[in-house]
Copies of this chain bind each other. A is one copy, B any other.
Amino acid sequence: MGASKTDFFTTEQNEVASLFKALSHPARIAIIEYLLKVDTCICGDIVNELPLAQPTVSQHLKELKNANIIKGNIEGTAICYCLNLDTLKKIEHYFGTITSHLSSKCC
């Protein structure tokens, strides 16, 4: 064997894990930080910002889109990408719940 035993965990646990999987590559972190830095929709130049070939960047963008971390709108020949505030807030809230429920008396 070797594949994840997805079926043995709850839907929520699988969803949370796949959200973090989308964030688990430095190229995808770089994309997020670039979109944050320019603070606007970006049409086109993400490929030029990364040290990776165009098909590879396209693949990473697809993963971020599938996880709803970024949104992509078609603007003529180019595609306009930007961060999805809702999803990012959801992740922030997930950790907020953890840290607020956690007593520091432990260990």
* Residue positions of A touching B, CB distance < 8 A: 4-6, 8-10, 13-14, 16-18, 20-21, 23-30, 32-33, 36, 39-41, 51-52, 71, 73, 80, 82-83, 85, 88-89, 91-92, 95-96, 98-99, 101-104, 106-107
Contacts and interface: CB of A to CB of B under 8 A. Distances in A.
Given A95-B92, A99-B88, A104-B85, A13 B29 contact: yes
B88 A98 contact: yes
A82 B98 CA distance: 13
Contacts of A83: 98, 102, 106
Contact of A25 (B17, B26, B92): B17
Contacts of A99: 85, 88-89, 92
